[in-house]
């Protein structure tokens, strides 16, 4: 395999339960302050703890884009307006032209909350959905890409990836391939996922919701906490930037609808694929941001994979104890956290850990470590065995 050239990351943005913007996230990580709260709708929507984004209900889309109003697109709009992201894209449009910038996003819920509301308001006699339910602009998966294209004035290729919890990580992969093929010069990548009834109740039905805040890698971990978030990164060919996407790896377990491969073969393949594409050895990685959901099976499987590739040399942690599991947005949330770690020399220790699982072999961080680092690997593993690993580093 030929190594890929580093792909410049010229802008990022992030909103989650930790706040709005990268500075808010860095402050929360440094203070070890999580954003999870008890689910106020516990009786009807799954229970446990959730990671909501503050202020979503008060935000309004600009009038020309009002037809796209749904919680997912409102999250995306907030992220576009955060960290100067939209302004940086405008400068990229001046360099490349709107048709040479793609939009590739990941989501698993899309605007499903709008569909849930419409279903509750259906005609009691006929069962018909209300006439004002605009599926194409709200519930449909492609709504997110159409909205972001319209908001940024872009006309290049645009699509939405839905590979469960690996969706937003997969968006980086597709963007890098489109740029390498010469189809586009730059790409807006990222994604959003929303707290909604079906997701919360669905994970509860699977017995995967922790009664308290999730505690990935803890010996007594007992499930996940669902969060919501949105974020973006701007990838550009040939531009100057201190940080870059150095490599990516992907694989498919082909094993089970919701359980990881028992020997973690898919996760191992994704991480090794990323290292080969970045032309790096395992010893070149300084920190691993784990997928780390907090379920017993998933964390144990990822530990086996990390130990197989890296042994116990590389510090690793999951940041889902801070943000909750943001599902299809997890890839962009943790990509931005990985870049914050690079920029600020902060390796965030996992939150809510009382005792690391004694069966784990990887080096799990339980407290923050501050030191300069050069390369970070971020894992995203989804239902159905969709695996993605991204490597970010200094240029």
Which residues are designated catalytic?
165, 291, 325
Cβ distance 231 to 82 under 8 Å?
no
| Residue 372 token pair | 């300069």
Three-state DSSP string of 1-31: CCCCCCEEEEEEEEEECCEECHHHHHHHHHH
- Annotate 261-283 with DSSP letters as a single string: PTT-HHHHHHHHHHHHHHT--GG
| Residue 68 token pair | 């796209």
Cβ distance 340 to 83 under 8 Å?
no
Report in angstroms the alpha-carbon separations of 348 from 291, 320, 367, 387.
14, 11, 7, 23
Choose among 322, 308, 331, 314: nearest CA to 369. 314
Helix (H, G, I), strand (E, B) or coil at 205: helix
- Annotate 375-395 with DSSP letters as a single string: EEEEEEEEGGGEEEEEEEEE-
Taking the C-alpha atoms of residue 172 and residue 162, their distance in angstroms, rounded to an integer, is: 13
Taking the C-alpha atoms of residue 15 and residue 148, their distance in angstroms, rounded to an integer, is: 16
> Whats the size of the chain, residue-wise?
395
Instruction: Map tokens 């980086």 to a residue.
Output: 172
Cβ distance 302 to 264 under 8 Å?
yes
φ, ψ (nearest 5 deg) of residue 374: -120, -25
Taking the C-alpha atoms of residue 266 and residue 163, their distance in angstroms, rounded to an integer, is: 14
Taking the C-alpha atoms of residue 288 and residue 302, their distance in angstroms, rounded to an integer, is: 11
Neighbour order of strands in the sheet with 226-227: 37-38, 49-51, 226-227
- Chain centroid to Cα 15, Å, comes to 11
């Amino acid at each position: 395999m030929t190594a890929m050239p580093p792909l410049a990351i010229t802008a990022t943005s992030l909103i989650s339960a930790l706040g709005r913007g990268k500075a808010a996230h860095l402050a929360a990580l440094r203070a070890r302050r999580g954003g999870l709260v008890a689910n106020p709708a516990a009786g009807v929507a799954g229970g446990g703890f959730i990671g909501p984004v503050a202020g979503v209900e008060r935000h309004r889309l600009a009038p020309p884009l009002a037809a796209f109003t749904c919680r997912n697109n409102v999250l995306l709009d907030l992220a576009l307006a955060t960290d100067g992201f939209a302004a940086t894209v405008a400068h990229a449009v001046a360099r490349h032209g709107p048709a040479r910038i793609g939009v590739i996003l990941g989501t698993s819920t899309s605007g499903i909350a709008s569909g849930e509301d419409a279903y509750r308001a259906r005609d009691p006699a006929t069962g018909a959905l209300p006439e004002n339910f605009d599926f194409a602009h709200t519930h449909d998966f492609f709504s997110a890409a159409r909205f972001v294209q319209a908001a940024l004035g872009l006309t290049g290729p645009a699509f939405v990836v839905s590979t469960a919890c690996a969706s937003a990580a997969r968006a980086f992969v597709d963007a890098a391939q489109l740029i390498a093929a010469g189809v586009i010069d730059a790409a807006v990548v990222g994604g959003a996922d929303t707290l909604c009834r079906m997701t919360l109740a669905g994970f509860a039905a699977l017995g995967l919701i922790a009664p308290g805040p999730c505690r990935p890698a803890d010996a007594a971990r007992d499930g996940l906490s669902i969060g919501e978030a949105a974020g973006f990164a701007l990838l550009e060919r040939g531009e100057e930037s201190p940080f870059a996407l150095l490599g990516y790896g992907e694989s498919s377990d082909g094993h089970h609808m919701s359980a990881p491969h028992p020997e973690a073969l898919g996760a191992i393949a994704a991480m090794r694929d990323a290292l080969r594409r970045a032309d790096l050895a395992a010893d070149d990685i300084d920190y691993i941001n784990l997928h780390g959901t907090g379920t017993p099976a998933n964390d144990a499987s990822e530990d086996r994979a990390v130990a197989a590739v890296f042994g116990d040399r590389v510090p690793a942690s999951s940041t889902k104890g801070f943000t909750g599991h943001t599902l299809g947005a997890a890839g962009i949330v943790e990509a931005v956290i990985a870049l914050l770690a690079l920029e600020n020399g902060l390796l965030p220790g996992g939150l809510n850990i009382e005792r690391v699982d004694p069966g784990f072999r990887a080096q799990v961080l339980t407290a923050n470590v501050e030191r300069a680092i050069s390369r970070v690997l971020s894992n995203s593993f989804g239902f159905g065995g969709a695996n993605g690993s991204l490597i970010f580093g200094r240029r």
